[in-house]
Amino acid sequence: MTQPYDLIVIGGGPAGTSAAITAAREGWRVLLLERGRFPRHKVCGEFVSAESLALLKWLLGDAEQDLLQRSLQLSESRIFLDGRTVRIPVNPPAASIARYDLDLALWNAAQKTGVTALQETTVQGIERENGFRVSASAGEFCAGAVINASGRWSNLRRAENHSSGFRWLGLKAHFHGTMEPSVDLYFFDGGYCGVQPVRGPAGETLVNVCALFRPGVAATLEDVLHCHPLLEARSRSWTAAFSPLSTFPVILQDPRPVSGHVLNAGDAAGFVDPFVGDGISLALRGGNMAARSLSPFLRGECEQEQSLEEYTQSYRRALRPVYRASSLLRKFLGVPRGLRAPFLSACENSPRLASYLLEATRSRSVELY
Ligand SMILES: Cc1cc2nc3c(=O)[nH]c(=O)nc-3n(C[C@H](O)[C@H](O)[C@H](O)COP(=O)(O)OP(=O)(O)OC[C@H]3O[C@@H](n4cnc5c(N)ncnc54)[C@H](O)[C@@H]3O)c2cc1C
């Protein structure tokens, strides 16, 4: 058993690093445990919504600002559905950041902030015993509090019986090719494919292609490119920069910010429909909020239950509305095409209406970090 920490954060993705950096900046001794090794590609559309860019800047600190300077800006979203094209201005613009770079930069920032960060360390169990005892592949660790940021389908999440929803398949790769500064969503029966420009390792512009669909609709990313005629035509000149990655199952989950006495952040709290492009933002904000909620407890100013309640309430106010809005939009996609037509036509002709819908899928502004 090593010397106790104030806080153990499980998972080194956007939620975990956000929590760890925030807690370390508040002066806590933080241990961050990550199963994998950075850098690594990840199945993700890589759309980082504008609401979290100021927080991301703060988390990265001076040493990692280059990431934001290199990132591409996305000022429009185009939705290709039922033979129509809905254009939505993205104002302020979102950022397109490869997860290969984003997750590494946040990991490095956590270390520079004083977090003890261990990679290739899988957490196997959490026990509550005079604080918490966390057993991991590298040994046992103890702390006064734990944040679970281990993503949507970790060994720690599966036990929570959140597996009843429909199971989607996700595929992603970068392609050599060109495109406008837009995030384009091509919808087809049984899924959709998101396409946007992203910065490659040598500073070149690549195209990120990321799809989510029902198993059986397509077997490969190549098949997905043939699922929509416009996408097929556009992708003819593209060539893959690396072999496609896959993830299964992807299950949409309503948020559960607290389990027992552990705070859940990011996908570990709940998985939002990826087509709204807010998962990274929810992860950054949720991690930040979870760490801040724990501070009064770690300072000995309140009971742990109060910190858990504070986190649950701020989560409900600021982040939960995104899940509601995205679930309504998902239901809309499920109605017969004929019923969708008048609404789509209205959006096609009114960028203001379309912008309003986009805003409804964004997390509420609250004072953070
Ligand atoms: C198809 C698809 C497209 C998407 N597109 C977008 C998009 O364009 N924009 C957007 O904002 N979001 C998008 N998302 C969602 C986004 O990827 C997630 O919401 C985001 O990664 C959540 O971050 P996180 O830190 O909670 O989890 P993760 O990024 O999954 O990080 C969790 C980390 O925990 C580690 N871990 C797991 N188990 C353990 C363990 N037992 N011990 C230690 N470490 C562990 C994992 O290795 C991982 O590094 C998309 C998702 C999918 C599936």
Between the CA of 116 and the centroid of ligand 1 the distance, in Å, is 21
pLDDT digits (tens, 9 = 90+) for 208-232: 999 999 999 999 999 999 999 999 9
Between the CA of 301 and the centroid of ligand 1 the distance, in Å, is 33
Between the CA of 147 and the centroid of ligand 1 the distance, in Å, is 15
pLDDT digits (tens, 9 = 90+) for 248-279: 999 988 899 999 999 999 999 999 999 899 99
Indicate if the pLDDT at residue 139 is higher than 70. yes
Q: Please tell me the least confidently modeled range out of 24-38, 194-208, 230-244, 315-329.
A: 315-329
Nearest CA to ligand 1 atom 20: 280
How confident is the model at residue 366, as a pLDDT? 54
Q: How many CA atoms lie within 13 A of 215 on its CB side?
A: 10
Nearest CA to ligand 1 atom 15: 279
Nearest CA to ligand 1 atom 19: 279
pTM (predicted TM-score):
0.95
How confident is the model at residue 182, as a pLDDT? 95
Q: Cα separation of 286 and 15, whole Å?
A: 6
Between the CA of 72 and the centroid of ligand 1 the distance, in Å, is 21
Pocket test for ligand 1, best of 154, 315, 326 (most atoms within 8 A of CB): 154
Question: Residues with beta carbon inside 6 Å of ligand 1?
Answer: 10-16, 33-36, 43-47, 122-123, 149-151, 154-156, 170, 210, 212, 247, 250, 266-268, 274, 277-281, 283
pLDDT digits (tens, 9 = 90+) for 311-346: 999 999 999 999 988 888 888 888 888 888 888 888
Q: Cα separation of 150 and 158, whole Å?
A: 11
Pocket test for ligand 1, best of 213, 267, 273, 288 (most atoms within 8 A of CB): 267
Residue pair 367/55 in contact (Cβ under 8 Å)? The answer is: no
Helix spans in 175-319 (H):
221-225, 229-234, 279-298, 304-318
Higher-pLDDT residue of 276, 1: 276
246: tokens are: 């896959």
Between the CA of 1 and the centroid of ligand 1 the distance, in Å, is 29
How confident is the model at residue 330, as a pLDDT? 84
pLDDT digits (tens, 9 = 90+) for 87-106: 999 999 999 999 999 999 99
Indicate if the pLDDT at residue 1 is higher than 70. no
Among residues of the chain, what percentage have pLDDT more than 90? 79
Between the CA of 13 and the centroid of ligand 1 the distance, in Å, is 6
Q: Could you tell me where the beta strands, DSSP code E, fall in the chain?
A: 5-10, 30-33, 47-48, 72-81, 84-96, 116-118, 123-128, 132-136, 139-148, 168-176, 182-188, 191-199, 205-213, 239-240, 245-250, 258-259, 262-264
Q: How many CB atoms lie within 10 A of CB 239?
A: 8
223: tokens are: 């098949």
CA triple 165-169-172, angle to 5 deg: 140
Q: Please tell me the least confidently modeled range out of 3-7, 44-48, 147-151, 290-294.
A: 3-7
Between the CA of 16 and the centroid of ligand 1 the distance, in Å, is 10
Q: Which atom of ligand 1 is nearest to the CA of 14?
A: 25
CA triple 98-102-107, angle to 5 deg: 150
Q: Please tell me the least confidently modeled range out of 6-20, 34-48, 90-104, 317-331.
A: 317-331
Q: What is the largest CA-CA distance in the chain?
A: 63
CATH code given to domain 5-42+96-164+251-360: 3.50.50.60
Indicate if the pLDDT at residue 114 is higher than 80. yes
Give Cα separations from 265 to 149, 167, 192 (angstroms): 5, 21, 26
Between the CA of 341 and the centroid of ligand 1 the distance, in Å, is 34
Q: Cα separation of 278 and 266, whole Å?
A: 10
158 confidence band (pLDDT: 50, 70, 90): low
**What ranges do the domains of the chain cover?**
5-42+96-164+251-360
How confident is the model at residue 309, as a pLDDT? 97
